[in-house]
RNA sequence: UCCGCGAUAGCUCAAUGGUGGAGCAUUCGGCUGUUAACCGAAGGGUUGCAAGUUCGAGUCUUGCUCGCGGAGCCA
């Protein structure tokens, strides 16, 4: 028999079909049982009338517990009273594996309990919706760059130490070569790729051993990092803007059902269209001062500062030209004011904070070497990176987008821990 | 790392320093249209760990452990 999934039931109205899945919920009358089946593609209410099935089947329907795996057979009918609009008039029930005392009941649970049971929590309808949206965002990201002539280029996960200090890097032994570290970013490798292929993007997991305990931080998260030869900061911002619009509009178009499960207010997402406001760091500081924040010029924007700024707008806001002191060594200085870096952060609305950080890169050999020395970085570790400026250096720019923060924003979640199947955080690395 | 809050039944929570309860879940019974179904009954406890105050501690004090919220940190 052909395998049928719940999402395709509209094509089988009036037919007798068999579906397999798990018992999601059960309600019963004396001679009627409502078994809600889930199969990963949807939910289906199956009705067992005492007179329509054998006594064994009816007793089985009465007995099995939540999350028992089953195979149901019956006739598909349109039924406005059933969730989803379709119902199965069941004639048979086959038990695959019986379950009892499933810990996650259809009532409220605390976050600690749910996180301890993350492997089971993933079966809940909201978690299923989040995972489907995450998947679609990943596809939208790849489609966007693939359709625009970018080449996906995977950077290494294991890297030598190249950043300032090792306190935020996860460390591991690497044969006779000493220590290796889990990557924090594929950017420097993406720059090498851009010099080879013009337009590249990296997309993979990155790791930060920061002792951050906030709703926006994971120790292991996914980042997509495009890098484009001959782009300047403005072109970088154009790309970021088009990219975010594409992702949000794609999800709005294709994932309405999941957004509804998540009770997401989509009117906010509908406003995410170009152009996004672009303000300089100096203008951002003015906004903070107008809102009564005692902000020290030259500092980086804190979480609450970002919220105040993004609340001024109904769509993502791009803040550019930060003081060089708070930004990375490889960012190019603004030729009109060497105290500023040609950097941009994109802040998502609704207090979600930074989801993109990018910059035009320093392409001058001498200036880059100077910055490496200023930051007390080991020059020998950067010789390969300096080579990119020795041999055919060009202006180039790129950015990094945090996948989990983006998923959290689009899904309207208040914590990134639900945006990845098995989150890794400072105080949790199980299950 | 800092500030704040918390830990009581499988889960979510209640309990004036004086006999530890409820809802859900589980088990049993009832119900032919339920929508987190409903109705009736039963079982279920080393109140996170250790010490202290007290005639008496789930409740007050101290320490520890674990977690949660926030901050800092965060190319």
A337-348 and A353-360 as β-strands: parallel, antiparallel, unpaired? antiparallel
Which superfamily does CATH assign the domain made up of A6-97 to?
A: Nucleic acid-binding proteins (2.40.50.140)
pLDDT value of position A303: 87
Residue A359 CA distance to nucleotide B33 C1' (Å): 61
Closest protein CA to C1' of nucleotide B39, residue: A29
What pLDDT, on a 0 to 100 scale, did the predictor assign at position A167?
64
CA angle A366, A369, A371 (to 5 degrees): 110
CATH topology for the A118-418 domain:
BirA Bifunctional Protein; domain 2 (3.30.930)
Residues of chain A falling short of pLDDT 70: 1-2, 161-167
- For CATH 3.30.930.10, the residue range(s) in chain A are 118-418
pLDDT at A166 (0 to 100) = 58
Q: Where are the beta strands (DSSP E) in A50-127?
A: 69-78, 86-97
* CA A335 distance to own-chain centroid: 35
Residue A210: its pLDDT value, please? Answer: 84
Q: Does any strand B atom come closer than 7 Å to the Cβ of A187?
A: yes
Task: Judge if the beta carbon of A169 is closer than 7 A to nucleic acid strand B.
Answer: no
What residue has token string 């149901």?
A: A72
| Amino acid A41: pLDDT | 93
- In this prediction the ipTM stands at 0.90
Q: Nearest to residue A330, comparing CAs of A133, A164, A174?
A: A164
CA distance A261 to A38: 15
What is the Cα–Cα distance from A281 to A295, expressed in whole angstroms? Answer: 12
pLDDT at residue number A205: 94
Whether A73 and A55 have beta carbons less than 8 Å apart is answered as no
- In this predicted structure, what is the pLDDT of residue A165? 53
Apex A313 CA angle, A132 and A287, nearest 5? 135
Helices then strands, counting H and E runs in chain A, come out as: 13, 17
**For residues A216 and A353, is the Cβ–Cβ distance under 8 A?**
yes
CB A80 under 7 Å to nucleic chain B: no
Reading the block at residue A35, the tokens are 């078994």
What is the C-alpha to C-alpha distance for residues A220 and A217, in angstroms, rounded to an integer? 9
Share of chain A residues as helix, strand and coil, in percent rounded to the nearest 5? 35, 30, 35
Residue A223, CB, strand B, below 7 Å? no
Residue A224, strand partner residues: A203, A401
Q: Å from A213 (CA) to B60 (C1')?
A: 32
Range(s) within chain A of domains with CATH label 2.40.50.140: 6-97
CA distances from A237 to A145, A234, A248, A274, A319 (A): 15, 5, 17, 11, 10
Nucleotide of closest approach to A327 (CA, C1'): B75
Tell me if A420 sits within 8 A of A218, measured CB to CB.
Answer: yes
A98 membership: H or E segment, kind and range? none
All residues at 6 or more sequence positions from A152 whose CB lies less than 8 Å from its CB, including other chains: A142, A145, A146, A200, A201, A202, A203
Give the SS3 label for residue A175. helix
Residues 336-375 of chain A within 7 A of strand B, judged by CB, are 357
User: Which chain B positions come under 7 Å from a protein C-beta?
Assistant: 1-2, 10-13, 23-27, 30-38, 66-75
């Amino acid at each position: 028999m052909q395998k049928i999934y719940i999402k395709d039931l509209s094509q089988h109205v009036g037919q007798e079909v068999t579906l397999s899945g798990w018992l999601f919920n059960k309600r019963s009358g004396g001679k009627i049982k409502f078994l809600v089946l889930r199969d990963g593609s949807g939910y289906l209410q199956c009705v067992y009338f005492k007179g329509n099935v054998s006594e064994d089947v009816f007793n089985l329907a009465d007995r099995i517990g939540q999350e028992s795996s089953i195979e149901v057979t019956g006739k598909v009918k349109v039924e406005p009273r059933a969730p989803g609009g379709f119902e199965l008039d069941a004639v048979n029930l086959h038990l695959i594996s019986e379950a009892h005392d499933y810990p996650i009941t259809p009532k409220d649970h605390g976050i600690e309990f749910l996180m301890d049971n993350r492997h089971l929590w993933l079966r809940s309808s909201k978690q299923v919706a989040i995972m489907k949206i995450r998947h679609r965002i990943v596809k939208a990201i790849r489609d966007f760059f693939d359709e625009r002539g970018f080449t996906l280029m995977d950077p290494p996960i294991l890297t030598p130490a190249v950043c300032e200090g090792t306190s935020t890097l996860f460390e591991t032994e690497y044969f006779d070569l000493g220590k290796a570290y889990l990557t924090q970013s594929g950017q420097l490798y993406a720059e090498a790729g851009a010099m080879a292929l013009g337009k590249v993007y990296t997309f993979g997991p990155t790791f930060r051993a920061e002792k951050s305990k906030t709703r926006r931080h994971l120790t292991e998260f996914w980042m997509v990092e495009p890098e484009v030869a001959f782009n300047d900061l403005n072109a970088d911002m154009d790309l970021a803007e088009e990219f975010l619009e594409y992702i949000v509009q794609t999800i709005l178009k294709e994932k309405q059902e999941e957004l509804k499960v998540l009770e997401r207010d989509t009117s906010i997402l509908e406003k995410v269209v170009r152009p996004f406001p672009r303000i300089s760091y100096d203008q951002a500081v003015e906004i903070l001062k107008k809102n009564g924040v005692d902000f020290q010029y030259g500092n980086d924007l804190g979480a609450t500062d970002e919220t105040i700024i993004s609340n001024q707008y109904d769509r993502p806001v791009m803040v550019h030209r930060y003081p060089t002191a708070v930004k990375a060594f490889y960012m190019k200085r603004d030729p009109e004011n060497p105290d500023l870096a040609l950097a941009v952060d994109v802040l998502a609305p609704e207090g979600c904070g930074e989801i993109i950080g990018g910059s035009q890169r320093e392409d001058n050999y001498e200036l880059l070497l100077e910055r490496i020395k200023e930051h007390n970085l080991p020059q020998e570790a950067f010789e390969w990176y300096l080579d990119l400026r020795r041999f055919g250096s060009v202006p180039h720019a790129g950015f990094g987008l945090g996948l989990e923060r983006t998923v959290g924003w689009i899904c309207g979640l208040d914590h990134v821990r639900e945006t990845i199947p098995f989150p890794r955080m400072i105080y949790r690395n199980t299950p």
